[in-house]
Amino acid sequence: MKALTVRQPWAFAIAALGKSVENRTWNTHYRGLLAIHAGSRWDSDEAVRRVGELTGVTIVTTDTAAIVAVVDLVSVHNSATCIRPVEERHEHDDGPFTCSRWAIGSRVDNGMHHWVLGTRRQLAYPIACKGRQGLWDLPAYVEADVLAQISTTAGLRYGSPSDLINPEETP
């Protein structure tokens, strides 16, 4: 299984808060299951503030240096081609009418790639693992633990973003 290291609070936002787009400066042709690895370092205070603005959740502490979720990477598109039907558009500070409130970049600034994340499975028990840059392969023993957790409902904290009735009450 492929994995992607994402700094906190973004990894938590993917795992538990329904973050549907991961912004990257590079493209990938990979599609399929993608393990989300919470990096050992946190992003800026501004990132924590931004997640709070988008979700109403203030993240103080959460897992790091561990696999925290598995998502389906369903597509990737350049921000310059990020056009969606009116009912699916979101207008926000990062640019009008992008594919998601989580998306950054615009039709003018085409340096970003929006990795569109489908079904998400947050692990009930994060699995300690050293991360890497870029897309990387999980070690076999970590992959086995991840697959064991996602194969049962007992291994899930939440099944989908709609399961989060009140995000302010999530752990």
Model confidence pLDDT, tens digit, residues 83-134: 654 455 555 444 445 678 888 875 556 678 999 999 999 999 999 999 999 9
Domain boundaries, the chain: 2-162
pLDDT value of position 60: 86
Task: State both tokens at 110.
Answer: 């085409």
Q: Give me the mean pLDDT over the 24-31 stretch.
A: 95
Q: Is 135 exposed, middle or buried (0-12, 13-18, 19+ CB in 10 A)?
A: middle
pLDDT exceeding 90 applies to what percent of the chain? 63
**pLDDT top residue among 84 and 33:** 33
pLDDT value of position 104: 82
CATH 2.30.130.30 fits domain 2-162: yes
Q: What gap in Å lies between CA 101 and CA 96, rounded to an integer?
A: 10
| H helices present in 6-139, as ranges | 10-16, 45-55
pLDDT value of position 100: 81
